[in-house]
Amino acid sequence: MAEQSHHDHGIPLLPPEQRDADIGVIVKTGIVLLIFMVACVGIAKLHHDYEISQQPVAGFTPFSTEQRLPPEPRLQALPAADLVKFKESQGHVTETFGWVDKAAGVARVPVDKAIDMALEKGFPVRTADNEKLALANALKAETAKAAAEAAKAKAGAKK
């Protein structure tokens, strides 16, 4: 039997692994990263200053509460006055009697009067007869629609 120590199993001995990190590489990497970050902040500051200098109104920010007029041509010279006039005209329509379509006999009634009339007349109540009638009307409408589509498809097929 060949002589071998019980510690040597035929595996070549390697030098021990270096367990300490190279401090020089770590310091150099940190310095490069620090220089890169300072350069990025400097570039961002230059860009910010440039953008501020390009603002059309000195001191304007998107967060300011001052109101600016839109660029020319302006379609409304006095939009606030136009709004007041519009509200007055709508108030007149909702508060007076008048004709919507005189030939058809359609008139407008003030809102307060219309509410009173609706309360006096009462609102429709759903009953079993009304439900059956509504269902029958819906079925007729659906059948007529299907027949019209079938006729349209048939006419299209003949072409």
Alpha carbons 98 and 92: distance in angstroms, whole number: 10
What's the CA gap between 31 and 117, in Å, rounded? 85
CA distance 56 to 68: 12
93 contact partners, CB below 8 Å, separation of at least 6: 108
Identify the three-state secondary structure at position 120: helix
Ordered per-residue pLDDT tens for the chain, 159 residues:
455 555 667 777 888 777 788 889 999 999 999 999 999 999 999 999 998 888 766 556 667 777 777 777 878 878 889 999 999 888 888 888 888 888 988 888 998 898 999 889 888 777 888 888 888 999 999 999 999 998 888 887 776
> What single letter denotes the amino acid at residue 67?
Q
* pTM of the complete model: 0.30
